[in-house]
Structure 1
Amino acid sequence: MLLELALALILAKVMDELFIRKNQPPVIGEILIGILFSVSLFILPEKVNLFNYEFPVSLEISHPAFDFFADMGILFLLFLSGMEINFESMKKSGRAALLTGGMGVFVTFALGLLFGIYFLGFTFQQAVVLGTIYTATSVGVTVRTLMEMNILRSQVGIVILTAAVADDILGIILVTIVLSTGEIAELTAGLLIFFLVLYILSKYGIIKKLMVHADEFIHTPFGLVSFSVGLMLLFAYFAEVSKIAGITGAFFAGLFIGQSAQKRKIINSVKAIAYSIFIPIFFVKVGTLVDLNLLSSFNFYLLLLIPLVFAGKMIGGSIGSKMGGLKLKDAIRVGVGMTPEMEVALVIASLAYGSNIFGASMGSQIITVTIMYVIISSMAVPFILKYLYKGEEPSTQSQEVAG
């Protein structure tokens, strides 16, 4: 098990560096390492004899310890997503952002649902999960492109940034419902209890006060960081006993802690823990879920999801931002900027795989298509955005949002 973790971390970080140098998302490199791990199972011997000693070289990627590290990576990803949400920035373009995020989620979800039922013959539950996978937006690629063009603080840039936050929250609520376990009555009770507790915590600022007291009381090195990670795990546990996905609890833990004054003291340390160990292992694990044995029986209808999701996210985002008051030209730019997907889509796809909702074969194929969408959208969006801004002066592009 130590060999697998060592190789995963070292190779993932080497690939991170190579992809960053090429201005590509490092996540893709980590996923490719996971795919290579899968391939190695077919080409590497179990042991190599060296100096009359047998060294095991076969990679045991399905080991429970590897899965544990990957599961922690999922929790940290959602925890950090919650921590980095800035409600103040949302107020600057609140209506446009909410409509953009809401319409993007609705159109993409509806298309995924209908495609699953009518093209793939899925059950309603399977189709709902399929639609949910592609609702989340990752605007890292878009943000980098807008920064290069010096228009991140323009109306389009701010709407994209804040709409992605609305997207995340709506996506998490959908995940909470579709990946919940238990009977309907039990699930309804669990959801009510969970969100009632969240409401009480929010209304009375309990987590903010708790963080202040913890900061005053704990003076050991990184003590506040450990305390915050403990809260994340506690929230995830509470979500799971409420028959809700643990990632929902982790997300809301991050959301509450992110609104506290202590956020700036801990966020860099949490990122160091998450991105140096757990999150890379999660993305390597995602890569290992791509089963190359299934290529011969691959359902090529699934490939239609790539243009379908791209169109759904672009059309939904464009309609929402136009309804929010943007000009048609800018609304289309926002729609394109909302098309990339990354971490959260892969998290939902891997959780669906682990829940065996689609079965092992179809689950692996859906993860493969999701990875393909991540790669294609992250490469296509910069070119499309630059084309849509072609010929415009920077002064026109950098207009700030007025309220």
Structure 2
Amino acid sequence: MGEGFKFLLDLALILLFANLGGYISRKLKQPAVLGQIIAGLVIGPSVLNIVKETEFISYMAEIGVILLMFIAGLETDIDDLKSSSKSSASVALGGVVFPLLLGFLAVKVMKPQSDITEGLFVGVILTATSVSITVQALREMNRLRTKQGIAVLGAAIIDDVVGIILLTLVVGLINPTSGSGELFFVVGKIIVFFLLSIGLGMVFSKYLTRYKEFLSREDRVLVSALIFCFLAAFFAESLGVAAIIGAYFTGIVFSTTPHRNRVSFEVQKIAYSIFTPVFFVNIGLFVRLDDVGGNIGLTVVIIIAAILGKVIGCGLGAKLSHFNNREALQISIGMIPRAEVALIVTNLGVKIGVITKEVFASIILLVLVSTIITPILLKIAYDDKPQHQTQ
């Protein structure tokens, strides 16, 4: 057997520590996701170094976040999502503009000699929101279907699309040969994705409803759900939109069918027993604390800019949409996390020579800090008081 089967040991250790971390976190009255992320940090290269990030773990983690967003879609009421579209757009706009400006200023203040493109690139990185951490924390607190949770989900979709367009613009500034033609091409692909999602979603919804008796036999409905989910995630990624958005839209399609509750129950059993714990532990595995010591001042300023950008921007957007102060704070906290999207964009910046290693290390610590503090802050913001659940 030897090294060829070490992935089995890695998986066993990840699941063991994920469950242990989640148990301790719940005992401390915090969401389990917090303990799972810290568990990844402990067993990863930064502390014990008994598990390293591998291609196998990365793929398992990717399936985990896709299933998590599919479940979020299943638990979303489409009428609530439509009714919150204006407020979501307002929240997303604030959550893009303020982090972009503060990120740019953070780099210019701390690195005045740096090129303007580095500041712009950091600003774009800070616009990204990793809603999966918030989704899991809100689910554990039974707050996902509140109007605040729905506003966060809608804003995250808009946030992701705007971030892709901004990234294309900045890359176009750095490499003029890509120019406006590529920007129009990217925007066109995004439009095609959403049009296809709406059109095919309506067709699939009718098909799933019409043949509900056939699909209800054996495990056909679960298999159909997973096929649609993975196909939508693949095509979303192929068209320049994050795979998790494709999964989320598939969940919304199934939420309009008679299979909603059964699919949600069965997918949750698969997701929460193996895949989503791997995803959250993998965030901790990715962190390298020894890379962060180079420029702690820059790191602190970028983290502050990232957090304040979302809290101020999204909070103002929520207030303009007539949420009260407490609800606006809950929404803005839910938009704080940065994870896979921020790391992907940062890695691109390093590859094209715009982002320095010290900025890269700062973004890694931002991912760690934002993913750890968000569940804690959400718990404080909701404070275990009864909240209205949308029906």
Structure 1 length normalisation: TM-score?
Answer: 0.74
3-state SS of paired residue (2:338): helix
Choose from 195, 219, 224 the match for 1:222.
219
**Unpaired segments ≥5 residues, structure 2:** 1-6, 172-177
Measured against aligned partners, the alpha-carbon deviations of 1:178-215 in whole angstroms (never above 9, x if no partner) come to: 6789944643443343233224235xx11201322453
Measured against aligned partners, the alpha-carbon deviations of 1:108-159 in whole angstroms (never above 9, x if no partner) come to: 44433554566464536633541222485837767988x8xxxx89xxx955
For 1:139 and 1:233, locate their aligned partners in 2 and report how far apart those are by CA, in whole Å.
19
Q: Does 1:247 align with 2:244?
A: yes
Choose from 146, 153, 157 the match for 1:165.
153
For 1:232 and 1:93, locate their aligned partners in 2 and report how far apart those are by CA, in whole Å.
24
For 1:123 and 1:209, locate their aligned partners in 2 and report how far apart those are by CA, in whole Å.
48
* Aligned residues between the structures: 364
Shift of 1:31: 1.6
Choose from 23, 29, 39 the match for 2:29.
23
Q: Does 1:369 align with 2:366?
A: yes
Choose from 266, 271, 292 the match for 1:269.
266
Greater helix fraction, Structure 1 or Structure 2: 2
The answer to whether the Cα contact below 8 Å between 1:341 and 1:374 also exists between their aligned partners in 2 is no
**Relative to 1, partners in 2 of residues 1:400 and 1:294: Cα closer, same or farther, differing over 3 Å?**
closer
Shift of 1:353: 5.6
Letter in 2 for 1:335: A
Counterpart in 2 of 1:4? 10
Q: Does 1:196 align with 2:195?
A: yes
**Relative to 1, partners in 2 of residues 1:322 and 1:340: Cα closer, same or farther, differing over 3 Å?**
closer
**Relative to 1, partners in 2 of residues 1:381 and 1:74: Cα closer, same or farther, differing over 3 Å?**
closer
Alignment of 1:299-310 (within 5 A): 299-310=296-307
Shift of 1:232: 1.1
Q: Does 1:130 align with 2:125?
A: yes
For 2:232 and 2:336, locate their aligned partners in 1 and report how far apart those are by CA, in whole Å.
20
Q: Does 1:84 align with 2:75?
A: yes
Q: Please tell me the root mean square deviation across aligned C-alpha atoms, in Å.
A: 3.9
Deviates more, 1:11-20 or 1:339-348: 339-348
**Unpaired segments ≥5 residues, structure 1:** 45-57
For 1:132 and 1:79, locate their aligned partners in 2 and report how far apart those are by CA, in whole Å.
23
Shift of 1:105: 4.5
The answer to whether the Cα contact below 8 Å between 2:134 and 2:375 also exists between their aligned partners in 1 is no
The answer to whether the Cα contact below 8 Å between 1:90 and 1:162 also exists between their aligned partners in 2 is yes
For 1:62 and 1:29, locate their aligned partners in 2 and report how far apart those are by CA, in whole Å.
18
Deviates more, 1:7-16 or 1:100-109: 100-109
Alignment of 1:37-52 (within 5 A): 37-39=43-45
Counterpart in 2 of 1:335? 328
For 1:142 and 1:133, locate their aligned partners in 2 and report how far apart those are by CA, in whole Å.
19
For 1:399 and 1:235, locate their aligned partners in 2 and report how far apart those are by CA, in whole Å.
32
Shift of 1:231: 0.6
Shift of 1:228: 0.7
The answer to whether the Cα contact below 8 Å between 2:232 and 2:250 also exists between their aligned partners in 1 is yes
Structure 2 length normalisation: TM-score?
Answer: 0.76
**Relative to 1, partners in 2 of residues 1:363 and 1:188: Cα closer, same or farther, differing over 3 Å?**
same
Give the structure with higher Rg (CA).
1
Counterpart in 2 of 1:48? none
The answer to whether the Cα contact below 8 Å between 2:287 and 2:368 also exists between their aligned partners in 1 is no
The answer to whether the Cα contact below 8 Å between 2:336 and 2:370 also exists between their aligned partners in 1 is no
3-state SS of paired residue (1:236): helix
**Relative to 1, partners in 2 of residues 1:378 and 1:192: Cα closer, same or farther, differing over 3 Å?**
closer
Counterpart in 1 of 2:4? none
* Percent identity of equivalent pairs: 22
**Relative to 1, partners in 2 of residues 1:3 and 1:144: Cα closer, same or farther, differing over 3 Å?**
closer
Shift of 1:29: 1.6
